[in-house]
Amino acid sequence: MHGWASGVYPANWRDRCAVVTEYLNQLDDDTAADLIKKGWPEAFLAAERDWPEAFAIWKTELVES
């Protein structure tokens, strides 16, 4: 996860990984495992789709830049 995220989100990959980890922890084990098997891009997209308020700060940063 960290290797992929640091390449895609170099400025805030640690925080994003923490959010995705928390998201995965809220899922049942089978759902989380299936999502991880699909790959990190899919896991991050699912977390952002299902938990948009957790990603709102980064959307705000994009608008302000």
DSSP state of 9: -
Q: Decide if 44 contacts 20 (C-beta within 8 A).
A: yes
44: pLDDT strictly greater than 90: yes
Q: Decide if 35 contacts 43 (C-beta within 8 A).
A: yes
Tell me, what's the pLDDT at 31? 97
Quick one: tokens of 62?
Answer: 């994009």
Q: Decide if 17 contacts 54 (C-beta within 8 A).
A: no
d(CA 64, CA 55): 15
Instruction: Render pLDDT for 21-39 as a digit per residue (tens, 0 to 9).
Output: 999 999 999 999 999 999 9
